[in-house]
Structure 1
Amino acid sequence: MRAKKILLPFIAMAIIAGLVGCNNDGDSGGTGQLVVKMTDAPFPSDLVSEANVTVTKIEARQKGGDSESAFITIMEDEVSANLLDLTNGVTENLADVEIPEGTYDLIRVYVADATVVLKDGTSYDLKVPSGSSSGIKIFVKPGIEVAGGLTAELLLDFDVASSFVAKGDASSPSGITGFNFKPVIKASNQSFAGRLVGAVTTEVEGETETEIIALGGATVSVYAADTLNTTAITAEDGTYTVLGLQAGLYNVTVELQGYAANTSEGVEIVAANATTQDFVLNPE
């Protein structure tokens, strides 16, 4: 499922509630536009072909509200998607709706079911913990501000690798006995976020010149201080994209079997901008 526009949809995770705006903490009577998109933090897919989720509803809570009346439904359609299609910068629109002006600091996502399909065709239906009844709660920090006549974007990044945990021996399909589903979703206020892009290559000495070879399948890990923030996997052409990074400094490490790891420290992410960081790996 490639990035396509859907009115009031959801899934792999990127809710974008783009925000341009004012500092309202409550409802001022007007309405603003909220756009919801989804993307996915990369998942090691050497054994898995599908990581599917079905979402039936999405709600947003106005800041300061403690009761159910503070929640507004922004999507109420059953939408299914393979999260592995939403990687490396690909997003999916989930909702594009008008809602009351104000600041929204909590999103609730209702997941009806989840399945994993291995590349050998084996399928597992997973138990969804409270996702269909009370919703999966994702806090938005800083809150997303919706202002009259403007459009806000919020990105929900569904970390498949952390959310779908294999049981048994994950080194081969025959060793896997099932999966536990423990949804891990990161919300990013796009007004304060930027993106990291680049390419990973290696150099091979030829008879007459040095040849640049793209490295697909390399893991790009982004750290805030010593804490892993998110990861990406390079495409076949060696390129990668990491969305929804809050403005600030990060350390970025690239790893690929057969090559020495390469780390760049103090990579600066600027809000609403793209930072380019390329890497050259040397064979071990």
Structure 2
Amino acid sequence: MLTHARRANLVAGFAIALLLPLMGCGSGDGKVSILLTDAPGDGVETAVVTISQIYLQGGDEEGGRVVLRDEPVTVSLLDLANSTSELVSEAVVPDGDYSQLRFVITGGYLETKNADGSTSIFATSNNYAGLPEGAVVAGQLHMPSYGSSGLKVKFDEKLTIEGEQKILLVDFDVAQSFGKEAGNSGRWVMSPVIKAAEVTASASITVEVKLGAGVVLPTVEGTAVTLADFHAVLINDAGSRETLPLTDENADGTFEATFKFLIPGTFQVDVESPASVSISTTPGDPVTVQLASGRDSTQAFVVSGAQPQ
């Protein structure tokens, strides 16, 4: 039996942005493009899937299927952190109502980190074409029915295409969607947890961190610690944790990191210092951020104290 509890050694997420451009393509038709993105995570070394077909399902389950892509593509999800990859470009779609977007996934593998620092590979088959050369498969990655009926992405409301622009963001939370089967089977199971929102209503959270007046970061073992050694942390309402390094691109003393392609909701924002340093911040972290539709958010922290651990 698959456990759906959050797993600390498997934190990643990927989102699928569905774009319907502003310009129609004539009477009775619209156009669809699909972008794929992913978020960074801990504990997963590699996550790869092969998507063989993408289609829209009409309101009637017995018909109304519109294929957007039928050329297989193999995607390394963790290479897409905070970026996008185009899967479908302006596919022509008849005007009408659609109840689901489906991804036919015919293979994949997951490489996870073990407690001793080694890694193990779980694949849909020992001869999955997406495996790296010489890979040793430790166990099975099970994807029930996704190679036939497809992974179903349901819309909160029917998707109505009438030639106008409609943009959707579909968030596939890998942290909540893969788990090790109970018992000693050695099998991992894919059971996706998915949310959807309009991409015009998606947003980003920027974390800003600077030193307070008179605060100096310590020197540890002869090396001066800087804010470039810190990370911004984002935790979604499902408990998935993402981290990004802080950078000061304009050299103004304020270090920043931006989490992109977020579905509106409640997030916890935190600042993570190196293990060798203990800090206090104003405001104290973590901070709860309610991300509203279509509104980017910035959360600023001031380091008010720092000392070596």
TM-score normalised by length of structure 1 = 0.70
- Structure 2 residue 178 is the aligned partner of structure 1 residue 164: yes
Equivalent in the alignment of 1:55? 51
Aligned to 2:107: 113
8 A contact 1:14–1:39 mirrored in 2: yes
Query: 1:239 maps to which residue?
Result: 257
- Aligned residue for 1:253? 269
Cα deviations across residues 81-129 of structure 1 (Å, max 9, x unaligned)? 1111122x21221212121123434111111112112464642211111
Amino acid at match of 1:240: T
Code of the aligned partner of 2:98: Y
The CA distance in 1 between the partners of 2:210 and 2:35, in whole Å, is 31
Matches of 1:201 and 1:112, distance apart in 2: 47
**CA displacement at 1:21 relative to structure 2:** 9.7
- The answer (yes or no) to whether the contact 1:54–1:111 under 8 Å persists in 2 is yes
**CA shift in 2, pair 1:222/1:202, >3 Å:** farther
Structure 1 gap ranges (5+): 1-10, 23-27, 169-176
Secondary structure of the 2:143 match is coil
Aligned counterpart for 1:195 among listed residues 200, 204, 229 = 204
Contact 1:38-1:157 within 8 A present in 2 as well? no
Residue 16 of structure 1, aligned match among 15, 18, 21: 18
Equivalent residues in 2 for 1:171-186, closer than 5 Å: 179-186=188-195
Aligned to 1:262: 285
Q: 1:129 to 1:21 in 2, by over 3 A?
A: same
Q: Secondary structure at the match of 2:103?
A: strand
- Measure the CA separation in 1 of the matches of 2:169 and 2:92: 17
Question: How big is the shift at 1:263?
Answer: 3.2
Question: Quick one: structure 1 residues 20 and 267, their matched pair in 2 at CA, closer, same or farther if it must change by over 3 Å?
Answer: farther
**Structure 2 unmatched runs, 5+:** 1-12, 124-140, 219-224, 248-255
Give the % identical residues.
23
How far is 1:20 from its partner? 5.3
How far does the alpha carbon of each residue in 1:14-57 deviate from its partner, in whole angstroms, 9 at most, with x for none? 132246599xxxxx961112111112244313xx3211111111
Q: CA offsets, 1:112-161, max 9 Å, x none?
A: 1121124646422111111111111111234444332x443322222222
TM-aligned CA distance change 1:182 to 1:263, over 3 Å: same
Matches of 1:196 and 1:142, distance apart in 2: 27
8 Å contact 1:44–1:161 — kept in the other structure? no
**Separation in structure 1 between the aligned mates of residue 50 and residue 84 of structure 2, nearest angstrom:** 16
Q: How far did residue 236 of structure 1 move?
A: 5.6
| Contact persistence 2:109–2:122 (CA under 8 A) | yes
User: Does the CA-based 8 Å contact 1:13-1:158 persist in structure 2?
Assistant: yes
Q: In structure 1, what is the Cα distance between the partners aligned to 2:245 and 2:38? A: 14
SS at match of 1:205: coil
Q: Which amino acid aligns with 1:239?
A: A
Count residues with an aligned counterpart: 247
Q: Deviations over 1:197-240 (max 9, x none)?
A: 33456665169xxx9603555431134xxxx3865321363613
The 1:215–1:101 alpha-carbon spacing in structure 2 relative to 1, beyond 3 Å, is: farther
Pairing 1:135–2:150 present: yes
RMSD: 3.7
Question: What letter is aligned with 2:173?
Answer: D
Question: What residue number does 2:222 align with?
Answer: none
Contact 1:140 1:189 in 2 (8 A): no
Separation of aligned partners in 2, 1:83 and 1:251:
22
1:33 aligns with 2:31: yes
Distance, in Å, in 1 between the alignment partners of 2:152 and 2:49 is 16
The answer to whether 1:90 aligns with 2:90 is no
